């Protein structure tokens, strides 16, 4: 079965003016056709939405009506590359042999994962390494090659040149966007849009930019709601732009399991970084999400996980920094960083949210472990999911840029949470962490339910190790990362790739026969960067989306 990042609301009628998405659609199409790459304006800047000029086709033989024309946006890629403060792959100064050997081991793991995917599953979304075949799944609406797109930037950064060219060739020759199926807006955005944008910014290859623009256009009908809050599911094949009200055109709906037709905080809150790049191509932003979130009252200052895209009100009061909520908070602080610290609205939302989280959700166990509980209508559930373990890195990243008197406090909090997540690994037989762990009935940092014992090659713990290393240079984070490498090699590496395991507490675990695409996009990338110098994908120049795809910090405006 597919396991979406946030666990995958009865469908509601679609009744919003389609004007803004339609205008953006037209401009994205134009931008995708012009030879030059996209222009970028300052992330976080708010531009006026242009009036909805209706375009009519001239009668056959008649001259086209005169209308104001604007030069297409163009992006000066060479100027952008010169603006980076560090070489993308770093300067590679002298380093100790052990660190280099460990990095080379992780590079070998990436090559092994890619080679087996290429041999047995190229063009499918993910590799099934035990049965040596491909898996398509139902999250991507008929799109193929999720592992290819997710792996592009990792292959590039690791200097696996031949493998990168193989992936690029597949995108050029075989990546078909003319598909018909139900897709997760969130997963397509973070994996495909994020992966293509990152590959473009790293290499300047036009094919990645044009594919990102074309696919971005197909996601726009999800925003056709009264509030502008998108629904979670979009049919990529129903794109009749003449009538967005048609029941068979660009249909979107909410997840069937989501409460009362609601949208999911982690899903609609994890679009800003990627859509900023797409929106700027047209000068016509489509997203209205922050305006709604600033208006609606937050219980105790917290953001619940379910919001109605029709009314803009919370549907129920379940708050989680793990699944359903996680990357919303991450994208607030990263939006501010990507704007070169100009998007003050995002920073204030992040600061206020973190203050409420610390006040109501951060707890310390009897054994001294700091964790972030979940909140259900005022009642705390003392569990923490693997997905929530990204928060150590997020808080450390935010701490680097907070008021001096609070900086050390947040660095300490980040270190404590990261240590708790490390304990969830250290206390298992495999030295890999469970999907969720609890702090109740005398248990600390361990799964107490059979349904929470699995590990599916998730990256969040090593993600926090990477950020904590870069921001503190405490050698324990590299040591902890190396322990993960050894555990992956011992328990997850099989003859034809890497597989998740069903029980981290079993001394001889059984495999789930799935090499997740995010293992190549995130887990191996973060481990590799942990053993790189800080100037490789420097945090001065790049912000990672929630699939670990690097998007550039906007140091200046690159309109040609």
- Binding residues, as ranges, are 546
Q: Which residues contact 152 (CB under 8 A, 6 or more apart)?
A: 164, 167, 168, 171, 195, 196, 198, 199, 208
* Dihedral over alpha carbons 347, 193, 434, 398 (to 10 degrees): -20
Torsions phi, psi for 463 (to 5 deg): -60, -45
Residue 164 Cα distances to 158, 168, 179, 228, 429, angstroms:
10, 6, 25, 37, 36
Residue 291: per-residue pLDDT? 83
End-to-end Cα spacing for the chain? 47
- Binding residues for Ca(2+), as ranges, are 546
Residue 221 Cα distances to 19, 74, 119, 152, 418, angstroms:
11, 26, 36, 28, 39
Q: Could you tell me if 338 and 43 are in contact, meaning their C-beta atoms sit under 8 angstroms apart?
A: yes
| Sign of the Cα pseudo-torsion (534, 540, 546, 552, in order) | negative
Residue 320 Cα distances to 69, 283, 303, angstroms:
48, 34, 9
Q: Locate the domains of the chain by residue range.
A: 83-552
For each of the chain's 560 residues, which pLDDT tens digit applies?
Answer: 444 444 333 333 223 333 344 454 555 565 555 434 333 333 333 232 223 333 333 344 444 444 444 555 567 788 889 999 999 999 877 789 999 999 999 999 999 999 999 999 999 999 999 999 999 999 999 999 999 999 999 999 999 999 999 999 999 999 999 998 999 999 999 999 999 999 999 999 999 998 998 899 899 889 889 998 999 999 998 654 433 333 333 578 888 888 778 999 999 999 999 988 777 655 556 566 888 888 889 999 999 999 999 999 999 889 999 999 999 999 999 999 999 999 999 999 999 999 999 999 999 999 999 999 999 988 999 999 999 999 999 999 999 888 888 999 999 999 999 999 999 999 999 999 999 999 998 899 999 999 999 999 999 999 999 999 999 999 999 999 999 999 999 999 999 999 999 999 998 999 999 999 999 999 999 999 999 999 999 999 999 999 999 999 988 765 55
CATH class of 83-552: mainly alpha
Please give the positions annotated as active site: 187, 326, 435, 460
Q: Which residues contact 297 (CB under 8 A, 6 or more apart)?
A: none
Please work out, in degrees rounded to the nearest 5, the angle formed at the alpha carbon of residue 139 by the alpha carbons of 136 and 145.
Answer: 45
Residue 287: per-residue pLDDT? 63
Residue 53: per-residue pLDDT? 32
Enclosing H/E stretch for 183: strand 182-184
Residue 404: per-residue pLDDT? 87
Q: Could you tell me if 261 and 10 are in contact, meaning their C-beta atoms sit under 8 angstroms apart?
A: yes
Please work out, in degrees rounded to the nearest 5, the angle formed at the alpha carbon of residue 341 by the alpha carbons of 337 and 342.
Answer: 125
Q: 111: how many CB neighbours lie within 10 A of its CB?
A: 16
């Amino acid at each position: 079965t597919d396991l979406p990042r946030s666990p995958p609301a009865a469908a509601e009628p679609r009744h919003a003016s389609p004007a803004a998405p339609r205008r953006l659609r037209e401009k994205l199409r134009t931008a995708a056709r012009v030879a030059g790459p996209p222009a970028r304006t300052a992330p976080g800047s708010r531009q006026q939405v242009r009036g909805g000029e209706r375009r009519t086709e001239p009668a056959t033989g008649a001259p086209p009506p005169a209308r104001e024309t604007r030069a297409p946006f163009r992006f000066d890629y060479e100027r952008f590359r010169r603006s980076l403060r560090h070489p993308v792959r770093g300067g590679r100064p002298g380093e100790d042999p052990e660190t280099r050997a460990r990095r080379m081991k992780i590079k070998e793991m990436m090559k092994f994962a890619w080679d087996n995917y290429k041999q047995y599953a190229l063009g499918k979304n993910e590799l099934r390494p035990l049965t040596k075949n491909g898996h398509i799944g139902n999250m991507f609406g008929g799109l193929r090659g999720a592992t290819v797109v997710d792996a592009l930037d990792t292959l590039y950064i690791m200097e696996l040149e031949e493998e990168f060219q193989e992936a690029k060739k597949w995108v050029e020759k075989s990546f078909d966007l003319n598909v018909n199926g139900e897709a997760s807006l969130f997963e397509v955005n973070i994996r495909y849009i994020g992966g293509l944008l990152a590959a473009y910014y790293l290499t300047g290859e036009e094919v990645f930019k044009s594919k990102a623009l074309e696919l971005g256009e197909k996601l726009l009908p999800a925003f056709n709601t009264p509030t502008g809050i998108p629904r979670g599911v979009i049919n990529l094949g129903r794109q009749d732009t003449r009538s967005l009200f048609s029941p068979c055109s660009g249909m979107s709906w909410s997840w069937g399991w989501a409460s009362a037709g609601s949208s999911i905080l982690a899903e609609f809150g994890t679009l800003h970084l990627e859509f900023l790049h797409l929106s700027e191509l047209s000068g016509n932003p489509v997203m209205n999400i922050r305006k709604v979130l600033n208006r609606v009252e937050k219980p105790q200052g917290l953001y619940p996980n379910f919001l109605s895209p029709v009314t803009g009100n919370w549907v129920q009061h379940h708050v989680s920094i793990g699944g359903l909520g996680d990357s919303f908070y991450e994208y607030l602080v990263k939006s501010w960083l990507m704007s070169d610290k100009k998007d003050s609205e995002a920073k204030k939302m992040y600061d206020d949210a973190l203050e409420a989280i610390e006040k109501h959700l951060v707890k310390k166990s009897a054994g001294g472990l700091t964790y972030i509980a979940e909140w259900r209508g005022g009642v705390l559930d003392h569990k923490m999911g693997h997905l929530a373990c990204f928060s150590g890195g997020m808080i450390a990243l935010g701490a680097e840029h907070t008021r001096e008197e609070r900086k050390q406090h947040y660095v300490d909090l980040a270190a404590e949470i990261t240590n708790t997540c490390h304990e969830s690994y250290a206390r298992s037989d495999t030295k890999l962490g469970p999907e969720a762990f609890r702090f109740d009935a005398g248990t600390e940092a361990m799964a107490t339910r059979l349904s929470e014992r699995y590990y599916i090659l998730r990256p969040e713990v090593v993600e926090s190790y990477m950020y904590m290393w870069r921001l503190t240079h405490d050698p324990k984070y590299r040591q902890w990362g190396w322990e993960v490498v050894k555990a992956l090699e011992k328990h997850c590496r099989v003859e034809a790739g890497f597989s998740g395991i069903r029980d981290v507490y079993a001394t001889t675990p059984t495999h789930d026969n799935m090499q997740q695409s995010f293992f190549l996009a995130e887990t191996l990338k973060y481990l590799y960067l942990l053993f790189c110098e800080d100037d490789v994908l420097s945090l001065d120049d790049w912000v990672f989306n929630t699939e670990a795809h690097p998007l550039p910090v906007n140091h200046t405006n690159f309109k040609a």
